[in-house]
Amino acid sequence: MATKIFVNLPVKDLKRSMDFYTRLGYSFNPQFTDDKAACMVISEDIYTMLLVEEFFRTFTKKAIADASNTTEVILSLSANSRQEVEETVKKAVAAGGTTPNDPQDHGFMYQHGFQDPDGHLWELVYMDPSAMEQQG
């Protein structure tokens, strides 16, 4: 069985966050979604738990980082093409996100990302298999 990952992110407004990620094409598992938390399905093995800040606080004694001012993590996901990277970033911006950085083209790797309404940073990365072979 593959290891699954559940990334927990604090959010200020759960409905706004769910609407944002729905517009990017993600779905939510209703079995693990209520008024305090939503289980966003990224893939069969990757999930993001969007937790209302008050509920998130029940899991930690540390202060919650304000992701709009502080970078707590950059979440990176692979993409199948450069076009998929750009389409996802465009959807994010149309849904209320921002692009804090310009796209980066490293020849064998192309990346671009967005910041969600709570300030969490997401990076999308396309690795060109043919260019990777030339690197090796």
- 76 to 20, 52, 96, 123, 125: CA distances (angstroms): 18, 22, 19, 4, 7
- What distances in angstroms separate CA 70 from CA 42, 54, 64, 76, one per listed residue? 24, 19, 10, 17
Cα–Cα nearest to 105, from 82, 84, 88 = 82
The two three-digit tokens of residue 94, written as one number: 């149309």
CB count within 10 Å of CB 18 equals 17
Read off the pTM. 0.90
Task: Name every residue whose Cβ is closer than 8 Å to that of residue 6 and which is 6 or more positions away in sequence.
Answer: 47, 48, 49
Rounded to an integer, what distance in angstroms lies between the CA atom of residue 18 and that of residue 23? 9
Count of helices and strands (H, E) across the chain? 4, 8
Reading the block at residue 46, the tokens are 């990757």
Tens digit of pLDDT per residue, the chain (136 long)? 889 999 999 999 999 999 999 999 999 999 999 999 999 999 999 999 999 999 999 999 999 999 989 998 999 999 999 999 999 999 999 999 999 999 999 999 999 999 999 999 999 999 988 876 665 5
Ordered by where they begin, the domains of the chain are 1-61 (3.10.180.10), 70-136 (3.10.180.10)
Smallest CA-to-CA distance from 126 within 113, 108, 114 is with: 108
